Structure 1
Amino acid sequence: MKWIHRLFAHYKAYHQHGPLLLRYMSLLVLFGFPLLYLLRFTKTAPSYNDLPLRLVNVVILLGLLLRDRWPESLKRYYLPYSYAVMIITLPLTFVFTSLKNGGGPGAIGNTFMAVFLLILLADWRNMVVMLLTGFASAAVLYVLTDPDPRLPMDYVARLPVLIAAVVGGSLFKSALEQATAERVRQAYGSLAGSIAHEMRNPLTQLKHNLESMQQALPLPTVASREQAVEGAAIDELYRHVAHGELAVSRGLQVIAMTLDEVNAKPLDPAAFSYLSASDAAGKAVREYGYASELQRGRVRLEVSQDFVFKGDETAFVFVLFNLIKNALYYLPVRPQLEVVITVAEQEIRVRDTGPGMTDDVLAHVFEPFRSAGKTGGTGLGLAYCRRVMHSFGGEIGCRSVPGEHTEFAMRFPAVAAADLQAHQARLWQQATAAFAGRRVLVVDDDDTARQYTVHKLSDTGIRVDTASSAAEALALLGRTSYDLLVTDLYMPGMDGYELAARIRRGRVGHQDVPILAHSSEPGHVAEVKARKAGMDGFASKPSSQLALLLAMQRALDRHQGARRAKALAGRTVVVADDNSWNRRAVSTYLQQAGIAVVEAEHGEAVLALLRGGQSCDAVLLDIHMPGLGGYQTARALRADPPGGRRLAIVAMTARSDAAAVEAAKAAGMDDFVTKPVSAAGLYETLERLLSQAENGGGAVVAREPWVGYHRAPPAPQEALLDVDRLENYARLGLLDELVDEGLPELERLVDTLRTAVTSIDFQGCLETLHALLGMTGEVGAAALYRRVRSLYVPMLEHRRWPAEEGWESDIGALAKQTVSAVRKYRQDRQPTGVH
């Protein structure tokens, strides 16, 4: 048995990267058997009719092809099954039919074909075992089934040739595998060396910053006493920390870029935003990890005409990083080298006075794993640049004159004015909605700058107070509650950093107020210092009205998110829903907040988990589940609390009427969230319940249920899809899963509903409508959700069929329209022009 296990381990390792080879071979043989059988009618019919044997082969090969349809519990037997199928369909079948037909050239050819197919399908050990097993089984079967078994002599005479073919084919295959393995090893070695080379620059910068920080620190001592650090040294430390963070960020981007390029990973258009070309290019020039001040002095940005493009800022900045790095590579050998980045009409050009490139090099400069005139480069940088520009809908080209210059030109598609205006209007609406009725304190010692900031916020619905010093701001905070503090950093007396630090230390009554730094200090250094002081964001001076509002919104969101993440991170929540997609969506939201999630399909599974020792802080229960529903599960948990501990129980339901609220309370539930579930509302509910539990609270105080808490404004009634929800799924990386798994489930539920209506199964119809309600809400099928809800709630409350006729057909038609729209949504967001 040990020998058999070792033998099969070689076969398993041979197919460890997936059953693709087995599937292709199965497909070939599956169609080959019927076709070869039909060919016999074009010539003299053989003496043996092997149609039944061929049909058996077709059936077992179908089982091999349909692996994805196998039950999960049986998939572990797939490889042993394939082993037996290959023996039966190749050596056994071909040799048996050859013997039955008395040998001949055709029989010899068939046997050779079976041998060569097996050489491809298994390692040499298992190939020999398969051949011997198949040949022996065919001979035994022939003797048992033929009344006059005879051994064809021409068949026997070809055995030496067959053995030579097996040995030669195996040796050739082994040599080919060794050559391929060597090429892979060399490629891996080259790639690893290239990445190491690319990482050397950011790691060297990081090392330099750490060494500089050591110089700025006071002398070490074993005495337990405070040591003074000069103010200039502190600024130096912060500067080196900021530069060190940039170096680490650049290194991580090198790794990410290399992995994305090797895997041809496309950029996600759902994450694209509208960017100012001059701002984005300026950010790249400022934040590039220059090795020296000499390098920094040789890079210049010129803006002749700014424009707006749609893309990913991080990817674009890294494109410029690549082009700057390539240009500065030649500075040691060309001391007068200059790099000029020009922003012109729909174009950004990067021109250097380096050695240039010849036409034969230019022809391949954007191909992966090509590097011109450099040692140690990955050859992936320019390929990545081209892929990013194509994902933006643009192009990148290169012109060069040997000995004079090289110029890369990035051409961007124009953004329609109407699209840009609509985008800005949407951002304005979101930002002003976030601050509607809120109170903001603006702190700045410069009267003009302070009034400019107030003017920018004057027509936003925000109540603005001002302070001309940090001391005045502290006095105001002691008397008034503010939703956000916007403060300058450089102020006489107490600066913005000290102001923030005092607030966070509780020197005033509102130490949890969100704080936004608003300063002209270089961003990457100021952000590190502001974060250390307890601030939640940074906005550069000067900034436009919209840019300031968006920075304020980000600071508010970051503050709230950090507070909730701090409260929820490390918690464990059980999510119970019979719909796998609903569970997946809610689980993803929870995991984004650092919550550990345990999933269950029904109430019995929840009870089994908790009574089996699974610890958790809260349970999310779908109301309608097969077997034990949400209400029954909640009652069971309240009657017999696991471990004697009262858990927070939250209902997940599509209903928000008074009857649903009362039923949830009666079952012992603490609160409920409505489907489709909002991430922000879910966090708020869990944070409040868990906070009450920690403070010794019992059941929550009755309150009005929230619907779509902290969500964007609801879609218009005529909208087919909830685009905001779909965009959120795209950002979370769930859009493909939604299309591939969620939509088929939606179609299945519609078919189930149609069957229930046809068979006049009221309860089955009600259960299917409930499942549809949860599913449509989660997948962003806004119109279908509203239609299903308009039918489900009256049916549930009045226990009778809808009065209108053809309602199930309307749902089917709307579902079909919805599925097509979601698939088109995904298709429209696929990157185009990616190479």
Structure 2
Amino acid sequence: MTSIRTWPARLFAYYRAYHQPSPLLLRYICLFGLVGYPLLYLLRFVKGGTGYDDFWLRLAVVASLLVLLLRDLWPKALKAYYLHFSYFAVTFALPFLFVFTSLKNGGGPAAVGNTFMAVFLLILLADWRNVIVMLAAGIGLAALAYAVLDPAPRLPMDYVARLPVLLVGVVGGSLFKFALEEATAERVRQAYASLAGSIAHEMRNPMAQVRHSLENIRQALPLPSLNAQTHLVDGRAVDQLYRHVAHGEMAVKRGLQVIAMTLDEVNAKPLDASRLGCLSAGDACSKAVEEYGYANEHERASVQLHVREDFFFRGDETAFVFVLFNLLKNALYYLPASPGLRIEVTVAGGEIRVRDTGPGIKPDVLARLFQPFRTSGKAGGTGLGLSYCRRVVAAFGGTIRCDSVEGSHTEFTLAFPVVAGEELRAKQAEATAQARRVFADRRVLVVEDDAAIRAATRLKLLELCCVVREAADGVEAMQALQSGTYDLVLADLNMPRMDGYELADALRSGRAPANRGTCLVAYTSEPPHLARVKTQSAGFDGFVSKPSDQATLVRVLCDAMAAREASRGRGKGWLSGRRFLLADDNAYNRAAVGGYLRHAGAQVVEVGSGDAALRELAGVDLFDVVLLDIHMPVLGGIETARAIRGADIAQSSVPLLAITAHADPALVAAGREAGFGDFILKPVEAPLLHEKLAMLMGVEPPQRAAPAAPPAPAGALLDENRLMGYVRIGMLDELVEEFLPEIDRLVDRLQDAVDSGDLQEAIDGLHSLVGMSGEAGAQALYRHARQTYIPMLEQHVWPASAEWLPRIRELAGQTGTALREWAAEARSRA
């Protein structure tokens, strides 16, 4: 019984395997049928043909083929049955239709020809097992339908007599197709074997470099020991270790580029046009020559770069550098056999020429040099490198050609459309404007012992409208960092008293707490591949090579600032895909907290009561965390938490975060007992909110940013740090237009409560005012309201002094004026 049940499944598995890689074959036969079936019908009947009128049968076939063709419009649940339906449709459209109409027409040469055509089409559409089954099913059902539906069925003997020929055709066609598939598979296997061997050959050099670097690292390490002891490594050995690591990383990068290039070329992957920008030919060639993974110093000394006339072209730096890598690799291949070989990379006149004094290329090879899987005779090459180069250069709007003389030289010439001066200046102006938006009013500290370089760097940065301070060495820099806050530090690495690495260590270890998370960029003369490894280990966010033009310096600083912002978790995105339920009876508090969450990419559902929160949790949508205000009317936060934990719903165990203006030990204990995982005080600070949410969700929290400026003085009306947070998330206008009127309304509410002697109403009003003023950055008002609120809440008595309310009204008025002025100034800066 088991074999009977599994036989159809195994048979259909062969059919699925035949079509699953791609449904194109079925789509093409559908198109062929949608045209062919109506056309054959018209040829038979429009031109006076006679015989059985199979109009409705052909219409059913065309309908089934049309359904197959429109697979993309099928409901998702039905797409799983596409191949099942195609099995029926093909059997119906080919063997059934042609055999049935042939029997109805009494056989004849036309019937035999049509049947043979149906059989050979079927051979193309299925494996031999399913061809036999589909033929048997189609012919059998057609014969049965003919016998049942025809009033006088008869067996056309001429048609039947040709069935053995049909059988021979099925067997022969199936064998031919099987042989063809085997031959194709063998060619594919050979191609893959050749490609795999070529990639292995290409990877041999990078892997050898990695092994060489690891061997050098092993030799530089102290001798191993089972005893716990401290091993001292001198500075020179540390520097050597970093050099070996840098060389190893370059070799790995080179290997990954070989793999990426091969896959891109095999798949004919187009370049992303959005990545194209204005490149300096001289800078791009210099980067390629410096960063190429040379096997030894002899290889490096064989390559010379000459920038006679720099120009700008449109391209992608990574792709272009790899093009140069390919050309250098091709030339260096002949170095062992020709120790005196020289390679010159020349930039001039809108062209980049790579010329080597190698053995040259034969004319017949030169004619097909840029074709895929063609090599110039080098053993083990993939034959994809130059094809990739041509495709990349063409994507940049350029051309590549090769001129060679056997026994003399080979020269590749890359020609690009030169970016016009006006367009270049427009691009530079756009980049500068974008950098100004990033650095406007930012504080930058330039640390450099060379006064001339400090002055030049200062001039390059002042155009960005930032505040620039200078320090002559690391010691002066630490003094500045301990007495103020900075958004970015640009530090030379080689300085007296305290070098750049020591400065980075002091900064990241917290010796200047307010600047622990400040963006740090190195200014260095070391080779880029070495500087990258060393500065990353030291805690720098980027590095810029000396000397540097303004455009390069600004680009590096902008990239470093973006990387630092991302590492702090302050940018949008770290909560993408997360859903939060926020319950607070005060719509303005909800707007502030919800703004922080949405700015981080979260989806937020806001409700104004505990009852509404319970209704949302009873629905089908799931939440990652529920945030509940403790003090809400009717059903407070603690009562809501108890209801959630006791409810028979899927989210009864959802993490809960309490939001409260005051959290005494009794409240915390009651909240923990009710099911809260943590508490956060009003006004809610975004970094702390993110940390608590990450803890409740069990994920890695974003790095908490150091404060951007010192805390506001105790007597200050406004908390400017908090207000800058509203600027970043785009809520400044909402703060001024909605929060301030609500604060005035709350003050009037307090006056009404005092006039009527309603103590509880006054406590409720103060609770709302504490939350509102804290969220709005009204620091002085918040502190005074909170100092009044807590004793009233705990002791349930009116304040002893009658001046508490006039003072609140006075601070509210002063806050409104100060906040509107601050917002106007912030808008003007933007």
Tell whether the structures are fold-level matches, with TM greater than 0.5: yes
SS in 1 for 2:464: coil
Give the counterpart of 1:156 among 148, 152, 160. Answer: 160
Instruction: Report the CA distance between 1:460 and its aligned residue.
Output: 3.0
Instruction: Report the CA distance between 1:181 and its aligned residue.
Output: 0.5
SS in 1 for 2:569: helix
SS in 1 for 2:490: strand
1:645 corresponds to which residue? Answer: 655
2:807 corresponds to which residue? Answer: none
Give the counterpart of 2:494 among 490, 493, 509. Answer: 490
Give the counterpart of 1:464 among 439, 460, 468. Answer: 468
2:806 corresponds to which residue? Answer: none
Q: Is structure 2 residue 526 aligned with structure 1 residue 517?
A: no
Assess if the C-alpha contact under 8 Å between 1:341 and 1:349 holds in 2: yes
Instruction: Report the CA distance between 1:611 and its aligned residue.
Output: 8.0
Letter of the 2:413 partner, please give it: A
Counterpart Cα distance in 2 of 1:61 and 1:95:
18
Query: Deviation digits for residues 734-771 of structure 1, max 9, x if unmatched?
Result: xxxxxxxxxxxxxxxxxxxxxxxxxxxxxxxxxxxxxx
Judged with a 3 Å threshold, the aligned counterparts in structure 2 of structure 1 residues 406 and 19 are, in CA distance, closer, same or farther, namely same
Letter of the 1:234 partner, please give it: V
SS in 1 for 2:656: coil
Letter of the 2:390 partner, please give it: R
Counterpart Cα distance in 2 of 1:126 and 1:433:
67
SS in 2 for 1:398: strand
Give the counterpart of 1:178 among 167, 177, 182. Answer: 182
Give the counterpart of 1:234 among 234, 238, 260. Answer: 238
Note the 1:375-774 alignment, pairs <5 A: 375-509=379-513, 510-564=515-569, 573-574=578-579, 616-617=624-625, 640=644, 642=651, 643=653, 645-646=655-656, 689-691=689-691, 693=693, 709=729
2:56 corresponds to which residue? Answer: 52
* Of 322-331 and 33-42, the range deviating more from structure 2: 33-42
Assess if the C-alpha contact under 8 Å between 2:443 and 2:487 holds in 1: yes
Assess if the C-alpha contact under 8 Å between 2:490 and 2:522 holds in 1: yes
Instruction: Report the CA distance between 1:458 and its aligned residue.
Output: 3.0
Q: Is structure 2 residue 99 aligned with structure 1 residue 124?
A: no
Query: Deviation digits for residues 320-371 of structure 1, max 9, x if unmatched?
Result: 0000000010111111111000011110000001111122111110011111
SS in 1 for 2:522: strand
Assess if the C-alpha contact under 8 Å between 1:607 and 1:637 holds in 2: no
Judged with a 3 Å threshold, the aligned counterparts in structure 2 of structure 1 residues 520 and 592 are, in CA distance, closer, same or farther, namely farther
Query: Deviation digits for residues 254-301 of structure 1, max 9, x if unmatched?
Result: 111111111111111111121111111011111100011111110000
Assess if the C-alpha contact under 8 Å between 1:394 and 1:411 holds in 2: yes
Counterpart Cα distance in 1 of 2:615 and 2:215:
57
Q: Is structure 2 residue 74 aligned with structure 1 residue 70?
A: yes
Assess if the C-alpha contact under 8 Å between 2:624 and 2:654 holds in 1: no
Judged with a 3 Å threshold, the aligned counterparts in structure 2 of structure 1 residues 460 and 56 are, in CA distance, closer, same or farther, namely closer
Give the counterpart of 2:140 among 128, 136, 153. Answer: 136
Judged with a 3 Å threshold, the aligned counterparts in structure 2 of structure 1 residues 205 and 638 are, in CA distance, closer, same or farther, namely farther
Instruction: Report the CA distance between 1:691 and its aligned residue.
Output: 3.2
SS in 1 for 2:494: coil
Judged with a 3 Å threshold, the aligned counterparts in structure 2 of structure 1 residues 618 and 106 are, in CA distance, closer, same or farther, namely farther
Assess if the C-alpha contact under 8 Å between 1:239 and 1:525 holds in 2: yes
Structure 2 spans left out of the alignment, 5+ residues: 582-596, 606-611, 628-638, 646-650, 660-679, 697-720, 732-830
1:262 corresponds to which residue? Answer: 266
2:636 corresponds to which residue? Answer: none
Assess if the C-alpha contact under 8 Å between 1:573 and 1:618 holds in 2: no
Q: Which has the higher relative contact order, 1 or 2, with Cα contacts under 8 A spaced 6 or more apart? A: 1
Note the 1:768-783 alignment, pairs <5 A: none
Q: Is structure 2 residue 186 aligned with structure 1 residue 191?
A: no
Counterpart Cα distance in 1 of 2:61 and 2:729:
59
TM-score (norm 1): 0.72
Letter of the 2:376 partner, please give it: A
1:331 corresponds to which residue? Answer: 335
* Of 544-553 and 516-525, the range deviating more from structure 2: 544-553
Q: Is structure 2 residue 317 aligned with structure 1 residue 313?
A: yes
Instruction: Report the CA distance between 1:574 and its aligned residue.
Output: 3.3
2:278 corresponds to which residue? Answer: 274
Letter of the 2:493 partner, please give it: L
Judged with a 3 Å threshold, the aligned counterparts in structure 2 of structure 1 residues 709 and 410 are, in CA distance, closer, same or farther, namely farther
Judged with a 3 Å threshold, the aligned counterparts in structure 2 of structure 1 residues 155 and 695 are, in CA distance, closer, same or farther, namely closer
Counterpart Cα distance in 2 of 1:376 and 1:615:
56
Judged with a 3 Å threshold, the aligned counterparts in structure 2 of structure 1 residues 685 and 122 are, in CA distance, closer, same or farther, namely farther
Letter of the 2:288 partner, please give it: A
Judged with a 3 Å threshold, the aligned counterparts in structure 2 of structure 1 residues 152 and 183 are, in CA distance, closer, same or farther, namely same
Judged with a 3 Å threshold, the aligned counterparts in structure 2 of structure 1 residues 710 and 380 are, in CA distance, closer, same or farther, namely farther
- Alignment size in residue pairs: 642
TM-score (norm 2): 0.73
Judged with a 3 Å threshold, the aligned counterparts in structure 2 of structure 1 residues 695 and 55 are, in CA distance, closer, same or farther, namely closer
Assess if the C-alpha contact under 8 Å between 1:302 and 1:340 holds in 2: yes
Instruction: Report the CA distance between 1:545 and its aligned residue.
Output: 2.1
Letter of the 2:690 partner, please give it: L
SS in 1 for 2:578: strand
Instruction: Report the CA distance between 1:573 and its aligned residue.
Output: 1.1
Judged with a 3 Å threshold, the aligned counterparts in structure 2 of structure 1 residues 149 and 474 are, in CA distance, closer, same or farther, namely same
* Of 557-566 and 139-148, the range deviating more from structure 2: 557-566
SS in 2 for 1:226: coil
Computed over aligned residues only, the root mean square deviation of the Cα atoms, in angstroms, reads 3.3
Assess if the C-alpha contact under 8 Å between 1:441 and 1:464 holds in 2: yes
Judged with a 3 Å threshold, the aligned counterparts in structure 2 of structure 1 residues 72 and 40 are, in CA distance, closer, same or farther, namely same
Query: Deviation digits for residues 221-250 of structure 1, max 9, x if unmatched?
Result: 111111011211100001111111111111
Counterpart Cα distance in 2 of 1:161 and 1:28:
26
Judged with a 3 Å threshold, the aligned counterparts in structure 2 of structure 1 residues 286 and 705 are, in CA distance, closer, same or farther, namely closer
Assess if the C-alpha contact under 8 Å between 1:14 and 1:123 holds in 2: yes
Instruction: Report the CA distance between 1:550 and its aligned residue.
Output: 2.1
Query: Deviation digits for residues 97-154 of structure 1, max 9, x if unmatched?
Result: 1111111110000110110011001100000000011111111111111121111111
Judged with a 3 Å threshold, the aligned counterparts in structure 2 of structure 1 residues 13 and 598 are, in CA distance, closer, same or farther, namely farther
Judged with a 3 Å threshold, the aligned counterparts in structure 2 of structure 1 residues 44 and 557 are, in CA distance, closer, same or farther, namely closer
Assess if the C-alpha contact under 8 Å between 2:626 and 2:654 holds in 1: no
Query: Max radius of gyration: which structure?
Result: 2
* Of 325-334 and 35-44, the range deviating more from structure 2: 35-44
SS in 2 for 1:265: coil
Instruction: Report the CA distance between 1:693 and its aligned residue.
Output: 4.9
Counterpart Cα distance in 1 of 2:249 and 2:190:
33
Q: Is structure 2 residue 312 aligned with structure 1 residue 302?
A: no
Assess if the C-alpha contact under 8 Å between 1:567 and 1:687 holds in 2: no
Letter of the 1:112 partner, please give it: F
Counterpart Cα distance in 2 of 1:367 and 1:343:
26
Judged with a 3 Å threshold, the aligned counterparts in structure 2 of structure 1 residues 268 and 693 are, in CA distance, closer, same or farther, namely closer
Instruction: Report the CA distance between 1:689 and its aligned residue.
Output: 3.6
Judged with a 3 Å threshold, the aligned counterparts in structure 2 of structure 1 residues 566 and 367 are, in CA distance, closer, same or farther, namely same
Instruction: Report the CA distance between 1:571 and its aligned residue.
Output: 8.4
Letter of the 2:329 partner, please give it: K
SS in 2 for 1:457: helix
Give the counterpart of 2:115 among 111, 135, 145. Answer: 111
Give the share of equivalent positions with the same residue, in percent. 55
Counterpart Cα distance in 1 of 2:501 and 2:151:
100
